[in-house]
Structure 1
Amino acid sequence: MNYRRPLWAAATLAVLVSFTAPADEFTQRIAAQLKRFYTLTSPEKVYLQFDKDVYNAGETLWFKGYVVAEAPQQADSVSQVLYVDLIGPDQRLLVHQTLAVQAGGAPGSYSLPGNLPEGVYTVRAYTNWMRNTPDYFFTRTLPILASAAGSAPKQPEKTSAGAQVQFFPEGGELIAGLPSVVAFKATGPDGRGISVNGTVQDEKGTVVSQLRTHHLGMGRFELQPTAGHRYSAKVRYPSGQEATYELPAAQPAGFTLQVQEKADAFQVVIRRKAAAGEAPTERIALVAHVRDTLAHAAQAEVSTAAPLTVLVPKSQLPAGILHFTVFDGQQVACCERLAFSAPGTGARLTVQPTKKTYGPQESVTLRVAAQDAAGKPLAGSFSLAVTDVAGTSQLRNATDIRSSLLLTSDLQGVVEQPGYYFATTTPTTTRALDDLLLTQGWRRFVWKALLADQWSPMPYAREQSLSMSGQVLGKRMEPLAEAAVVLTSFRPSKSYQTLTDAEGRFTFSGFSGQDSAAVRVVALPTKSVKHPQLVLDDKLPAIAASGAALWPWAADSSALKFQTVGGRNTVSMRDKNILLNEVVVQDRAPQATRPDNRRIYGRPDATILTKDIAGIGSYKDVVQVLQGRVAGLTVVANQDNVRITMRGKSSSSQTQMAPAMQQSTNSRNRPMVSDAPTMPTATPLFLLDGIPTDINMINSIPVVDIEAIEVLKPGSAAIFGERGASGAIAFLTKHGNPNYRPGEEPAPTVLAPMYAPPRLQRVREFYTPAPNAEANATPAVRSGATLYWNPSVQTDASGVATVSFGSATRSGSFRVVAEGITRTNEPVRATELFKIEASK
């Protein structure tokens, strides 16, 4: 490596620089296991760009999700399904969306109800594969205001009540007699950083160091502890109150690790103090890596007489968190330290309006360009938002695509104001970022487990398409390997079979995302287990112990529709023109007075109660139950064909047959009923526990599981709109009754539950008037609103994309924010301003 050797390196005992394969056996094993970890786990990262920082109730929240591989060479195998959740201020789930990922991006939106309570909401995004490491989900807090006017909710005043200060010796431990840096972080009761100052003193009250926060409650001080002494920090809060904290005790022997960033390299200093009877020198190993890129791995002797200094040049380091680890002579990790490898002069994104000022309703044209460090064009995928500056609250130093993918996605916990560290590059921001990494933990893996080939379980598979997965268990809840699992769909009628793996897990994939008919999933008996237990994976990771609730602020309870499929309660909500995805709620606690919400209609015209039918257990199917029991209802069963029609008021003059009726229902030799209608007839709507379905699904239900059949003639079924124009027949199961108690059925039966197949969220398109549109075609943009949103800006081989849209009808300043990923997998961001002014 060619770089100017700084003066501070002249006195180093040894300089170890290695970007080739390590020569010794131990560091070779480290390199191999590091590569193996990223190959097997192939971590993924998610980032969401939003059109704004702060929203008002009643607005639409627009976003684009980016899914990237942590290791660039694995970018082609990232998940193709993204899950996005909206969580309320009370930590309850509000909306769950499933989005298809195409070319690394997934656009989406939320329609926020107008009566949404004001507060700070959370959006989290993840893939099914990321559920194996839920600490690394993407999360973003979004303030939502109760009305169009106003500003972001104010943060609570910072006081000393509930405040705390934590201390973090650099490298891990204080060693008696060795100089160290101690980082600290002071936080208030809300977890946010607060400013403090104070002194560090020994047990006699002698002051040995001063401390003062540098940024967001973080800071550092130097300390060389003396053997036999205890140290504490006396801290003064902004309120004037004081508190005393004990510092970690200094160990009598061990290693310290210090890292300093220089102009063109990271200087690593390793010191050692030997215990009584130990040799004066010890062979250690130093490893440095950024994700799967090994920056340095070598062994050297370190003496108690002088420190060991190692230089790790920046020139070949990828951007991201740089992880240093020191292994002692027993090959045990004893010191760890994080630093940050800055992007440097990497890819660059620019957004340029054709002019700085436009007239009302004039066409606005923006030129989006991406270039690499040498100025050569770059192709990439970007999203672009244009918002009115007036009335728009902008969060200070909010997260962006660079801070998220390069920094916070590799750290556990919440990073406050992450955009601060990327807004500018100055000694102040560089120092603040280093303080952050001294105090914020990193735990993608533990070296001891990694070197011992002990891998964390990865039960959740990577999804290249929508899937249903789960596990098959035996009598003692043990996983059943090689167990056959069958999935049956009823529209069209098809069956699919797979075998479980060694952990009893299975996956069915390839769902279109548009299917609405429920499916049945069953585990077939094995030689050792006659009745295996099948447990489907829940696509909703836990949020808090309080459980999940949906849209608790909905003033109109009729907007909520509760449904039951196979005993699993589901809730969906229609908000005007958008159908929000169904969310499964796992609350099954018995409640004697729970309402039966399967009926959204009034009194039925006819009701059949199976408990009143003698010998119901001998009936082959529900078709036989219906025959001849309801006036005006015609049931014709011939071989494998079933036709059910209802006489009544209908606009149709002839009998209609739904396509599903023409499919096999596996019925045989049913008697034919020739109750010829004298009035117009048509096929009614079929409901199973409140869910529209077809006769194939109905006929697959064991008769003894049916509780009641309710018939609604066309007039009574008007609540269903056009679908109920020919009447409706509602089949209510015992398992679907919220007050059902096992054992009530007249004959024992094992009913395989039905499940709603995975569905994709319908992607809405942001309405944009054509450039130079008429005045009445251009909607008025109110203060703080989004003028333009485009989640699909693609630069070509020339590295340029051009977008045009009609300007607002009123004057004002507008902010442009563009973010995205280049073809070389680099996150980039650009901002710009332009004005709209009426002619004078």
Structure 2
Amino acid sequence: MNCTRLYRSLIALALIFTGLGAGYAQQIDSMVNVYGEKYPQEKIYVHFDKPAYNTGETIWFKSYLFAGIMPSPISRNFYAEILDQSGKVLQQKVLPIYEGSSAGHFDLPANLPPTIVFRAYTSWMLNFDTTFLFSKTIRILNKTVPVAPPGATAAKQPAGSKQGGAAAGSIPAAVSLRFFPEGGDLVTGIESVVAVKITDLYGLPVNAEGVIKDASGAAAAVFTTTHDGMGRFTIEPKAGKTYYAEWTDEKKQTHKTPLPVAKATGVVLQCAPTGNRQAFIIKRSQESPENLKTLYLLGYFNSQVVYKARLNLAQNFMVSGSIPLEGIPTGIMQMTLFDANWNPLAERISFVNKEDYFFTTKVVPVAKSTERRAKNTLVIDVPDTLKTNLSIAITDAGLTKADPDADNIVSHLLLSGDLRGYIHNPYYYFTGNDDTVRAHLDLVMLTNGWRRFKWDELAAGKLPVIKFPRENYLALNATLTGVLPSQVPKNTQINVFLQAKDSSRQLFFLAIDSTGKFKQDGLVFFDTVSVFYQFNNSKHLANKAIVNFTNGTLKAPAIIKPDTAWRVPMPLDTSLLNRGKYFASEAERLKPELEKKVKVLETVTVKARQKTKQQQMDERYTSGLFSGGDATTFDLTDDVSAMGAMNIFSYLQGRVAGLQINTGGGGSQLQWRGATPSLFLNEMPVDVSAIENIPVTDIAYVKAFRPPFFGAMGGGAGGAIAIYTKKGGDVSSSTTNVGGLDKSRLTGYALPKEFYSPDYSRESAQNELPDIRTTIYWAPYLLTDKNNHKITLNFYNNDVSKRLRIILEGMNEDGQLTRVEKIID
């Protein structure tokens, strides 16, 4: 085991706590430790197969869930959502978490906006600051991208900026400067470090240089950006003076920005890493109130106190010291300075880089070729005895060109996942540990806040309110309606059968609890299951009570408030954009040929005058205007793929040309040629809600009538979908009730989908189809241990790619991380 990962809190007492301060100290630092032990914060990183997509493609993803520096043992359910930038949920999936990870996919429909947001969380994370939920804005390549973020207009420029002329109809690239005094405040008469951060309208870094002047125009300091729009300068504010920056950006445009007003009295906290210790200097105003003459400094890592000191500034105006870093692993350490009454005065974060976070993984191409449909072989070797959990994506290199806007597993879990705000090119800070990289990383620490604690609440002993308790996978929750709680006898029990689509069954005996509800958690099932139930020896309840079943998961709201993290992606490299559009146009060009070959593959030879299965189903189920017609038909009585559909709308997704279906958190939404299709159940008009809860196994036949359908009200401009439930001869024994028991339906985890990887070494009619896959290979679970540390992967190239990019990421059981990136030419 790597002992440095299993650190213990280090407490170094600069002075012994005495009097009132010690009591408050015990309250504050013990509360911090309580937060760390009882309310650990989870964070998520998601590995995608590629950074951008075309409509009609599939997003493949693998999530890694951490609590502090270790794989999280807390949550069991993973929530993933696709949203538009207004916050509307387009699709949602709930997946089980195993060994701190989960994997899934989203199929992208045609009617997507130019950018979408992938958001992921656990229910436990919703109890705390939702700023730290995982979100990533994803570009849809074959869509027109707006020139500015939603809501941005030419009028919304930073105060004091002077923009040059812009092209007619375009939006000027607004540039803004922000100041970050070290510790939080400027104080009159104390020399302070001030960091600057300059960004454009998209939040991307801008280089600049400038002069700090007072109101009379006299220069007080100069600054220049040294890395990604960030820089620093020192200034000693004078009493009665205000200051502003006069600066020029990289396009030679001039700007004027005021500095924060300095406080008349106060304290300044300055920090600098020095080898295996974190040095600090604390200065106070010469004329200070009594509460600033005794100060307390608290250092904490991963919500555990690692340092606390009482600082006596009664006779001195400055004190210095250092925090030992032995036993503290790589990550962000926070320091907060309090006055004599334990009111927070200043805060500073610093990055401790022990370079202990990485484990070695070898990815060796044994056989490689980028010829058309050529075979490639990789060997993945993890020379370690610890269990590892890896994922690998192999894609067309032109679609995954190195993107500074992208995080990876190392930079996100160690840096950007713990900070507010956008971090540009975060992995750069892990490419070395020399003085230059450390100085640049310290600029990130100065310009990005970290505010996990509300100190007034901790001082009062207030703990967080847990609205969302920990989930133990899926649950079988039953509530009774139609009867009063007093009418439910004690020790009432419900006997419940869960029956999956493969006819497998589970039996549960649910006893009533003190709240009048029934619950069984710790369940894992996928898609939908039938629920059969009966009361145990209670005819009264059987006759009057209605039982409602839920699976215990959260339900996504129809609209989620947009987050500032949902930024418009940075402009794409032209070659990447062109490559994406090339694949989109090729897919569109080959679509008729593909459909033609698919139909040929599906052709069934029949005897003369013998009716097709479609004709038989049409005669058996349809009548009047629903008989015949211009329609796409689906016989579900012998369609194995229907068994895996969440509902009939998810089954129809992508199967009917022109029909657009979204199955988001607000319910299924349908559109065909700009209008909403009419819905019929057994030829009776119904709405969406009446159909989406019908088990697909109960449906025999579906006809999707192309617009217009004259059998619908208003002329049927959106076409129609007619759904027919099974009749006697088509009902299998697996879908019938169990012994006449009452029946319900329950939704489980999202159904897994296997990544299709063709094998061109074998003869197959499927191999005659054009191959323009952009993701050549995807494997979300590669597991190794001391007995199995090598994995061999075989995959075949597509018809067009000449350069392939391999990205492997993962973690081990000790919380260490790995990332390998290779190119196959």
The verdict on how the C-alpha distance between 1:815 and 1:209 changes in structure 2, with shifts beyond 3 A counting, is same
Q: How far apart are 1:177 and its partner, in Å?
A: 1.0
- Aligned residue in 2 for 1:385: 393
Q: In 2, distance between residues paired with 1:396 and 1:339?
A: 23
The verdict on how the C-alpha distance between 1:124 and 1:809 changes in structure 2, with shifts beyond 3 A counting, is closer
Aligned partner (choices 418, 433, 437) of residue 445 of structure 2: 437
SS in 2 for 1:77: coil
CA contact (8 A) 2:680 2:723 kept: no
Listed as ranges, the matches of 1:77-156 within 5 Å are 77-113=73-109, 115-117=110-112, 119-133=114-128, 134-146=130-142
Q: In 1, distance between residues paired with 2:394 and 2:453?
A: 40
Q: How far apart are 1:262 and its partner, in Å?
A: 2.6
Q: In 1, distance between residues paired with 2:353 and 2:267?
A: 28
Q: Output one character per residue of 1:14-46: Cα deviation in whole Å (capped at 9) or x when no partner.
A: xxx945899634544443222101222122121
Listed as ranges, the matches of 1:506-525 within 5 Å are 509-514=521-526, 515-517=528-530
Q: In 2, distance between residues paired with 1:577 and 1:88?
A: 23
The verdict on how the C-alpha distance between 1:171 and 1:586 changes in structure 2, with shifts beyond 3 A counting, is farther
SS in 2 for 1:322: strand
Q: How far apart are 1:584 and its partner, in Å?
A: 4.4
CA contact (8 A) 2:494 2:511 kept: yes
Structure 2, unpaired ranges of 5+: 1-9, 150-165, 481-489, 500-506, 534-547, 564-629, 634-646, 669-674, 699-719, 732-742
Q: How far apart are 1:264 and its partner, in Å?
A: 3.0
The verdict on how the C-alpha distance between 1:390 and 1:489 changes in structure 2, with shifts beyond 3 A counting, is same
- Aligned residue in 2 for 1:802: 791
RMSD: 4.8
Q: In 2, distance between residues paired with 1:757 and 1:581?
A: 20
CA contact (8 A) 1:351 1:818 kept: no
Q: In 2, distance between residues paired with 1:557 and 1:19?
A: 77
CA contact (8 A) 1:382 1:791 kept: yes
Q: Output one character per residue of 1:321-352: Cα deviation in whole Å (capped at 9) or x when no partner.
A: 11011122122221101111124144323233
Give the structure-2-normalised TM-score: 0.67
Q: In 2, distance between residues paired with 1:459 and 1:519?
A: 31
Listed as ranges, the matches of 1:15-26 within 5 Å are 18-19=11-12, 24=17, 25=22, 26=24
Aligned partner (choices 781, 786, 800) of residue 792 of structure 1: 781
Q: How many residues align?
A: 640
Q: How far apart are 1:471 and its partner, in Å?
A: 12
Aligned partner (choices 372, 375, 400) of residue 362 of structure 1: 375
Aligned partner (choices 255, 276, 294) of residue 243 of structure 1: 255
CA contact (8 A) 2:368 2:377 kept: no
Q: How far apart are 1:171 and its partner, in Å?
A: 0.5
Q: How far apart are 1:55 and its partner, in Å?
A: 1.7
Q: Output one character per residue of 1:267-310: Cα deviation in whole Å (capped at 9) or x when no partner.
A: 1111112435649x823222112113433222232356452222
- Aligned residue in 1 for 2:465: 457
Q: Output one character per residue of 1:373-396: Cα deviation in whole Å (capped at 9) or x when no partner.
A: xxxx43210101112224544422
Q: In 1, distance between residues paired with 2:116 and 2:495?
A: 39
CA contact (8 A) 1:171 1:258 kept: yes
Q: How far apart are 1:543 and its partner, in Å?
A: 5.2
Q: Which amino acid is 1:540 matched to?
A: A
Q: In 1, distance between residues paired with 2:269 and 2:288?
A: 21
- Aligned residue in 2 for 1:723: 726
Q: In 2, distance between residues paired with 1:347 and 1:79?
A: 24
Q: Which amino acid is 2:555 matched to?
A: K
- Aligned residue in 2 for 1:759: 748
1:599 aligns to 2:680 (yes or no)? yes
Aligned partner (choices 398, 402, 420) of residue 412 of structure 1: 420
Give the structure-1-normalised TM-score: 0.66
Instruction: Give the % identical residues.
Output: 25
1:575 aligns to 2:653 (yes or no)? yes
Aligned partner (choices 221, 245, 251) of residue 233 of structure 1: 245
SS in 1 for 2:293: strand
Q: In 2, distance between residues paired with 1:226 and 1:725?
A: 91
Aligned partner (choices 212, 218, 228) of residue 206 of structure 1: 218
The verdict on how the C-alpha distance between 1:362 and 1:239 changes in structure 2, with shifts beyond 3 A counting, is closer
Q: How far apart are 1:66 and its partner, in Å?
A: 1.4
Q: How far apart are 1:200 and its partner, in Å?
A: 1.0
Q: How far apart are 1:442 and its partner, in Å?
A: 1.4
CA contact (8 A) 1:323 1:337 kept: yes
Aligned partner (choices 173, 177, 183) of residue 185 of structure 2: 173
1:585 aligns to 2:666 (yes or no)? yes
The verdict on how the C-alpha distance between 1:449 and 1:598 changes in structure 2, with shifts beyond 3 A counting, is farther
Q: In 2, distance between residues paired with 1:793 and 1:51?
A: 15
- Aligned residue in 2 for 1:824: 814
Q: Output one character per residue of 1:491-523: Cα deviation in whole Å (capped at 9) or x when no partner.
A: 67988465578xx99976345434445899xxx
Listed as ranges, the matches of 1:261-276 within 5 Å are 261-275=273-287
More helix, by proportion:
2
Q: Which amino acid is 1:64 matched to?
A: K
Q: Which amino acid is 1:111 matched to?
A: D
- Aligned residue in 2 for 1:625: none
Q: How far apart are 1:53 and its partner, in Å?
A: 1.6
CA contact (8 A) 1:173 1:251 kept: yes
Larger Rg: 1
The verdict on how the C-alpha distance between 1:488 and 1:460 changes in structure 2, with shifts beyond 3 A counting, is farther
Q: Which amino acid is 2:55 matched to?
A: A
SS in 1 for 2:465: coil
The verdict on how the C-alpha distance between 1:23 and 1:356 changes in structure 2, with shifts beyond 3 A counting, is farther
Q: How far apart are 1:412 and its partner, in Å?
A: 2.6
The verdict on how the C-alpha distance between 1:159 and 1:469 changes in structure 2, with shifts beyond 3 A counting, is farther
SS in 2 for 1:315: coil
SS in 1 for 2:410: helix
Q: Which amino acid is 1:260 matched to?
A: A
Q: How far apart are 1:76 and its partner, in Å?
A: 6.4
